[in-house]
Amino acid sequence: MIVVVIIGVISAAVLLSVNLTGRDRDLEKESDRLLALVNYAREQAEMQTRDFGIVVHDDGYQFVAYDTRRQLWREVYEDDALHLRMLPAGLDFKLTVDARPVVLQATGEIKQDDPKDRQKVKTLADLKNVTDAAGLKEATGTRKMGADDNSSLAKAKKIEPQIMIYANGDLSSFQITLEREGGVRSVTLAQDDKGEVILEPMVETRT
């Protein structure tokens, strides 16, 4: 009986998310949120006159900012709206940049920053404008360079956005397709002729 009840609850949840009319609430919600965040990041790039970027995984995405002092990309720690976001189960991304498909990794395949590493880079490197191991050694004075110092710096430099949001408001040419598992429904985020980011109509594949 318990198993039957659980199956019933799961079935009801699926029907609420994707009903018989073809409406997919999760897909609509996540695509609308992505559009709003891209436009928000674009506004921030122009207001702060700094470059932002979007790192797209097959199961999530995050925004990054370019640190001109350290000459590397970093997470946007100071803005909670632009943190790493995971997609609900059953949804995934496809990405095209400059008309070329991009192979996406799952978020779990990319090692996340350790808060200790982040603090170490900030305390040792940020104040000294450190961008390489030699500069880090100079910044630490007589303290011996450790393996953790090098790994922290190297890890920070690994962040590389696939989509650029430039300080003047321009963006890379891209298409982000958010689709239901199996490709039965999809929504594509792209740019129109005027350079505005828009959501194209939902596409449904009948099988």
| Maximum CA extent, the chain | 69
| pLDDT for 38 beyond 90 | yes
Chain segment 87-129, per-residue pLDDT in tens: 999 999 999 999 999 999 887 765 444 444 444 434 433 433 4
What is the set of domains in the chain, with CATH numbers? 2-112+157-204 (3.55.40.10)
Query: What is the pLDDT at residue 20?
Result: 47
Considering only 41-45, 48-52, 54-58, 110-114, which range has the smallest mean pLDDT?
110-114
**Among 54-68, 109-123, 183-197, which stretch is predicted with the lowest mean pLDDT?**
109-123
Q: CB of 53 within 8 A of CB of 164?
A: yes
d(CA 129, CA 12) in angstroms, rounded, equals 55
Spatial separation of the C-alpha atoms in residues 3 and 15, rounded to whole Å: 18
pLDDT tens digits, residue range 4-15? 446 565 555 544
For residue 142, pLDDT over 90 is answered with: no
pLDDT greater at residue 2 or residue 125:
2
Residue with tokens 């189960």: 89
What does the mean pLDDT of the chain come to? 77
17 DSSP 8-state letter: H
Higher-scoring residue by pLDDT: 11, 142: 11
What is the pTM (predicted TM-score) of this model?
0.68
Report whether pLDDT(148) > 50. yes
In the predicted model, is pLDDT for residue 140 greater than 90? no
Q: Which residues contact 95 (CB under 8 A, 6 or more apart)?
A: 56, 101, 102, 104, 162, 163, 174, 175, 176, 177
Model confidence at 182: pLDDT above 90? no
Q: What is the C-alpha separation between 96 and 76, in angstroms, rounded?
A: 24
Mean pLDDT of 39-55: 95
| The pLDDT of residue 205 | 80
